[in-house]
Amino acid sequence: MLRFPVKSSSLSDLTETVLTKDKPIHVTRNRKAEPVLEAIETLTADMNSQFKKMREQFTSKFDELKMEMVSRDAVNEIKFEELATKVEDLQKI
């Protein structure tokens, strides 16, 4: 999407022509609203950053738990093999 700013007759407005795939769209912005838009963009960036950190923490914790489960499965398999050996020894008696 390409944007071409064009000053309109009013100093407080900015008209942009936004070229989309189909046709150009004319968008009018109020310059007084730009600080609000910047604040929203900053807040959105901060929220995205926090979300990314939370996702990384979740992934890290999930991998930790997955490794714990794998190690538990390995321990359980060893214990099962030991029990099977003891059962075989008892059956020989």
Tens of pLDDT, residue by residue over 30-75, are 667 777 888 888 999 999 999 999 999 999 999 999 999 988 888 8
- Mark out the alpha helices in the chain (DSSP H runs): 34-92
Tens of pLDDT, residue by residue over 9-36, are 444 445 555 556 666 666 566 667 777 8
pLDDT attached to residue 11: 40
Q: What is the average pLDDT across 85-89?
A: 87
Distance CA 60, CA 81 (A): 32
Alpha carbon 62 to chain centroid, angstroms: 15
Other beta carbons within 10 Å of 13: 13
Residue 79 pLDDT > 50, yes or no? yes
